[in-house]
Amino acid sequence: MARHKYLTAPPGRLARGCCGAAIAAVLALGVSACGDLPSDPAALEQSTTSPTTTASSPSSPTSTTSVANKADLAVDYRHLLLQAEHISDDEDTFTARSVDTNPRGLPGASAFFVNAEDDRAISNTIVLYPDAATATETLKAATEALHTKVVGGTPQPLAVGTDGVVISGTSPAGDKAVTQALFTEGRALVRLDFESAVGDATSEQFVTNVAKMQMIALQTGLQDTE
């Protein structure tokens, strides 16, 4: 994983020695706002934009989906998530700034990690759907919308899970390097967001390694849960 010193501005404007809390706030705003996945594929565009954005009303999920999701909401899925020590290496030591259940009211769990210098962030979101077919349908819809979340990149296959896809580029504002990876494992859909300095994107190998570790954690955790 390549080293970097600046997340949102060139060296002349924002050095790593500046207020870490302020940089972390920018990271949290940039990553957590895009780390959600919809319960209904038709709701994708609304769910992955800013919470204050109004989109056209999505079609309602089926009653079966609604019932299954409500049952899943009672389950604590945080054990499915990677831990900070899993993604730390000799270049970056990550800590979890937040670990939550049921992101945006959807069955699953999410975690937000920041490195010691507050200049690299990873957001990890897992959503559980009633079945693998629904997870796959949602992944396809998410793939079609990737160009609106990551600018300047082209979706590429990711050899992780089922129908894995990865895209690297910049944020729509052009102030951060962004890599986003998605894949399914059974009825679970995983979304990983990596943010760093412009021109110093997270390496493809590191993204793949993290995705593979999350897939293994899912395989083990879902067996224990279900």
Report the CATH number that the domain containing residue 56 is assigned in CATH. Answer: 3.40.1000
Number of independent structural domains in the chain: 1
Distance CA 110, CA 67 (A): 22
Q: What's the pLDDT at 40?
A: 46
Longest dimension (CA), the chain: 55
Is 6 a member of any domain? Answer: no
What is the CB neighbour count within 10 angstroms for residue 219? 14
Pull the structure tokens for residue 17: 């020695």
What is the CB-side half-sphere exposure of residue 34 using CA atoms within 13 A?
22
Q: Residue 72 falls within a domain, yes or no?
A: yes
Q: Contact, 109 vs 80, CB < 8 A?
A: yes
Instruction: Please classify residue 74 by burial: count the beta carbons closer than 10 Å to its beta carbon, then call 0-12 exposed, 13-18 middle and 19+ buried.
Output: exposed
**pLDDT of res. 35:** 44
Residue entry with tokens 């009825």: 187
**8, part of any domain:** no
Domain range for 160: 20-225
**1 inside domain:** no
Picking from 49, 219, 218, 67, the residue whose alpha carbon sits closest to that of residue 134 is 67
| 4 domain residue, yes or no | no
Arithmetic mean of pLDDT, 58-87:
73
Q: Are 40 and 58 in contact (CB under 8 A)?
A: yes
C-beta of residue 155 within 8 angstroms of C-beta of residue 143: yes
Most confident of 16-25, 28-37, 43-52: 28-37
Q: Give the side-chain half-sphere CA count within 13 A for 6.
A: 11
With cut-offs at 50, 70 and 90, classify the pLDDT of residue 150: very high
pLDDT reading at 144 higher than 70: yes
Q: Tens of pLDDT along 155-197?
A: 999 999 999 999 999 999 999 999 999 999 999 999 999 999 9
User: Does residue 3 form part of some domain?
Assistant: no
Q: What is the pLDDT of residues 78-96, one digit of tens each?
A: 999 999 999 998 889 999 9
Determine the average pLDDT of the residues in 14-30: 35
What the block records as the tokens of 101 is 């259940």
Residues near 176 by beta carbon (within 8 Å), at least 6 away in sequence: 7, 8, 30, 170, 195, 196, 197, 198
Is there a domain that residue 69 lies in?
Answer: yes
Instruction: Return the pLDDT at 70.
Output: 78
Please state whether 88 falls in left (phi above 0), alpha (psi between -120 and 50) or beta: beta
**Is 202 within the bounds of a domain?**
yes
Average pLDDT score over the chain: 76
The arithmetic mean of pLDDT across residues 198-217, rounded, is 94
Rounded to whole angstroms, the Cα distance separating 36 from 38 reads 7
C-alpha–C-alpha distance, residues 33 and 14, integer Å: 23
